[in-house]
């Protein structure tokens, strides 16, 4: 009897110990902090992009009703806007946020940008395409400036097709952009056009993935440029590798397992994992996470919100063997943003647990961010971070800032600005999520005073060496990495053109007395690997990133 009692006591103690370890692990997992930056951005951050001058462009739709910022003159009539005017053109629906001063300035949009697309050009100009109604074929440009006087400029030329819920990909060879898809538009086109006679090009893949009864489910397709110069296109549950130069499908990949859909309005999200110099940037792997259950869009129209998808799939799209490797997130999620962090981890943030995208079509805000570490073993890649207190569902956005924080804004499941008598009010508060790597206890490991020594305007030609200099009071870790990050255009759970590369380095020289480190870094080998334009360069010392500096990759 004594022996049995002893065994039962040991088992009980083990259970208590295991439970304590699980609680401790859960506490450790809830890392990071939330910071409230502004009580109001004035407009909903349906679309968001970080510029190379350390400002952030945010905008929504001109048809959203009066915003918090009035304009002096109506762009539509040319008349001065009076105080009681309700004319849409009398209100700003775009703002520029200055990261360092934490200030907002209003800007004017001439045509409707609702559910539009965008990408940065090689000179840092934000190209913005499509939208709704009078904006569906429009092309807009915003060129960042230092004096705060720049504004949107609408091009006199228009696209060949209406592009509402389309996706953009910057092209490596000529600095142009490919615009793919749109509401009941099954084609792609080049901006600018390749010739005066160039029009839209039919893409049968979009016809094949169209879900007539499910809200279409192939809108806002996921696009990733492979390092071989071909384009990965994912819509609904299917994907292809597409040679846009020859208008030819190179590969058709296996369908991602499981039911439901991943594309808008099911609205999962996708990333391309960091490209690495160790394999000469030849291995390209993508990941798709979340989405909505079969029939979720129609059910939401009847007030029933189906549980979202919990699974993620990752697949290598280069080589000859292609298979989706599936794993589960800690919980179901849709309308989630996926942001690549400087060390190559993926942050999954915002969204909902049930329903689909659209006005009041979702419930159960996903308040807990997930951190995904691609190189860990299966089963140990996900962890949960500190929960948010603000619901960010439809029309929310997130972007990585040069200082390492993640800017989080938006969330507007209503047709206009509505702050009362709705389940999820229009959300104008601006926050930053501060990852654990920015904690004060890691300051002694953080590279500081980073400078990039290049010729001219921080521009580097492909394949060339350049010098990076930084200060570190202690000896650098054996694992010092140099990452460059292409800032995306973020909307509707997509981070268009988001890309991170890990570059090779050599000839590290350290002044032990003064703490300065000089090291030679090699630029990416070609624009297929890194399309031309501005990137955030970050020194990562043993997993702790520096504040980023901007660098520009250019053709010879």
The reply to whether 314 falls in a domain is yes
The reply to whether 3 falls in a domain is no
Q: What is the mean pLDDT of residues 419-440?
A: 95
Sign of CA dihedral 275, 278, 284, 289: negative
Cβ pair 308, 333 in contact under 8 A: yes
The reply to whether 51 falls in a domain is yes
pLDDT value at position 85? 59
Model confidence pLDDT, tens digit, residues 283-300: 999 999 999 999 999 999
Per DSSP, the three-state class of 492 is coil
In this structure, of 89-93, 387-391, 396-400, 439-443, the range with the lowest mean pLDDT score is: 89-93
Cα–Cα distance measured from residue 51 to residue 393, given in angstroms and rounded to the nearest whole number: 24
Q: 422 and 453: one domain?
A: no
Joined tokens for residue 21: 């370890």
Q: What is the mean pLDDT of residues 398-405?
A: 98
Cα–Cα distance measured from residue 367 to residue 14, given in angstroms and rounded to the nearest whole number: 33
pLDDT value at position 533? 96
pLDDT value at position 1? 47
The reply to whether 271 falls in a domain is yes
Residue with tokens 């539009």: 116
Cα–Cα distance measured from residue 260 to residue 291, given in angstroms and rounded to the nearest whole number: 7
DSSP state of 419: -
Query: What CATH number does residue 519 fall under?
Result: 2.60.40.10
Beta 275-276 vs 499-503: how paired, if at all? parallel
Beta 396-400 vs 382-384: how paired, if at all? unpaired
Q: 53 and 123: one domain?
A: yes
Q: Could you give phi then psi for residue 39, rounded to 5 degrees?
A: -75, -20
Q: 484 and 385: one domain?
A: no
Cβ pair 407, 399 in contact under 8 A: yes
Joined tokens for residue 34: 């939330």
The reply to whether 12 falls in a domain is no
Cβ pair 282, 227 in contact under 8 A: yes
Q: 487 and 387: one domain?
A: no
Q: 244 and 225: one domain?
A: yes
Provide the domain limits for residue 164: 33-438
Cβ pair 343, 481 in contact under 8 A: yes
The reply to whether 21 falls in a domain is no
Q: 174 and 141: one domain?
A: yes
pLDDT value at position 53? 98
From 399, 423, 438, the end of a domain falls on 438
Model confidence pLDDT, tens digit, residues 444-465: 999 999 999 887 678 999 999 9
Check whether 78 has a pLDDT greater than 80. no
pLDDT value at position 84? 56
From 438, 473, 503, the end of a domain falls on 438
Q: 367 and 473: one domain?
A: no
Please tell me the total count of domains within the chain.
Answer: 2
Q: 433 and 463: one domain?
A: no
**pLDDT band per the 50, 70, 90 thresholds, residue 413:** confident
What does pTM read for this prediction?
0.93
pLDDT value at position 20? 41
CB proximity list for 91: less than 8 A, separation 6 or greater: 65, 66, 67, 69, 70, 71
Model confidence pLDDT, tens digit, residues 497-514: 999 999 999 999 999 889
pLDDT value at position 288? 98
Check whether 517 has a pLDDT greater than 90. yes
Check whether 74 has a pLDDT greater than 80. no
Model confidence pLDDT, tens digit, residues 124-144: 999 999 999 999 999 999 999
Tell me how far CA of residue 174 lies from CA of 5, 160, 193, 226, 397, in angstroms: 77, 20, 11, 16, 29
Query: What CATH number does residue 218 fall under?
Result: 2.130.10.80
From 371, 405, 438, the end of a domain falls on 438
Check whether 322 has a pLDDT greater than 90. yes
The reply to whether 18 falls in a domain is no
Q: 462 and 347: one domain?
A: no
The reply to whether 8 falls in a domain is no
Residue with tokens 């946020």: 97
Q: 366 and 470: one domain?
A: no
Q: What is the mean pLDDT of residues 208-221?
A: 95
Q: 500 and 533: one domain?
A: yes
Q: 398 and 521: one domain?
A: no
């Amino acid at each position: 009897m004594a022996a049995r009692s002893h065994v039962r006591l040991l088992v009980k103690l083990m259970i208590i110990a295991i439970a304590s370890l699980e609680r401790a692990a859960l506490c450790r997992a809830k890392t990071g902090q939330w910071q409230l930056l502004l009580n109001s951005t004035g407009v909903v951050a349906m679309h968001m992009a970080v510029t190379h001058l350390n400002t952030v462009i945010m905008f929504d739709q001109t048809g959203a009703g009066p915003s918090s910022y009035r304009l002096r003159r109506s762009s539509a009539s040319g008349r001065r806007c009076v105080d009681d005017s309700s004319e849409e053109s009398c209100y700003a629906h775009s703002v520029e946020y200055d990261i360092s001063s934490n200030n907002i300035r209003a800007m004017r949009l001439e045509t409707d940008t609702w559910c539009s697309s965008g990408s940065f050009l090689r000179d840092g100009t934000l190209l913005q395409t499509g939208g709704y109604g009078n904006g569906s074929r429009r092309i807009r440009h915003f060129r960042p400036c230092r004096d705060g006087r720049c504004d949107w400029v609408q091009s006199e030329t228009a696209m060949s097709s209406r592009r509402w819920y389309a996706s953009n990909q910057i092209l490596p060879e000529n600095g142009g952009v490919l615009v793919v898809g749109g509401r009941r538009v099954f084609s792609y086109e080049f901006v600018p056009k390749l010739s005066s006679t160039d029009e839209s090009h039919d893409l049968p893949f979009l016809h094949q993935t169209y879900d007539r009864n499910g809200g279409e489910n192939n809108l806002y397709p996921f696009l990733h440029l492979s390092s071989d110069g071909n384009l990965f296109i994912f819509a609904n549950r299917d994907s292809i590798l597409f040679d846009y130069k020859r208008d030819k499908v190179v590969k058709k990949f296996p369908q991602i397992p499981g039911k439901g859909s991943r594309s808008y309005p099911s609205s999962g999200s996708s990333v391309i994992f960091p490209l690495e110099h160790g394999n000469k940037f030849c291995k390209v792997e993508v990941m798709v996470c979340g989405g909505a259950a079969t029939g979720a869009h129609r059910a939401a129209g009847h007030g029933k919100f189906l549980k979202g998808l919990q699974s993620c799939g990752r697949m290598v799209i280069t080589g000859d063997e292609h298979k989706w490797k599936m794993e589960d997130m800690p919980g179901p999620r849709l309308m989630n943003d996926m942001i690549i962090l400087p060390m190559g981890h993926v942050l999954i943030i915002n969204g909902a647990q049930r329903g689909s995208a659209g006005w009041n079509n979702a419930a159960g805000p996903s308040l807990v961010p997930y951190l995904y570490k691609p190189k860990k073993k299966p089963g140990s890649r996900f962890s949960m971070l500190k929960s948010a207190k603000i619901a960010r569902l439809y029309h929310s956005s997130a972007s990585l800032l040069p200082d390492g924080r993640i800017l989080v804004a938006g969330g507007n499941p209503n047709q206009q600005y509505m702050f009362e008598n709705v389940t999820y009010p229009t959300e104008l508060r601006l926050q930053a999520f501060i990852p654990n790597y920015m904690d004060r206890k890691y300051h002694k490991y953080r590279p500081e005073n980073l400078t990039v020594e290049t010729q001219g305007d921080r521009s580097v030609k492909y394949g060339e060496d350049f010098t990076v200099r930084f200060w570190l009071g202690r000896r650098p870790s054996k694992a010092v990495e140099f990452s460059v990050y292409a800032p995306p255009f973020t909307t509707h759970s997509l981070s268009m053109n988001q890309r991170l590369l890990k570059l090779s380095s050599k000839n590290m020289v350290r002044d032990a007395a003064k703490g300065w480190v000089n090291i030679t870094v090699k630029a990416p080998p070609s624009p297929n690997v890194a399309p031309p334009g501005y990137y955030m360069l970050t020194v990562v010392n043993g997993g702790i990133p520096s504040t980023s500096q901007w660098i520009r990759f250019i053709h010879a």
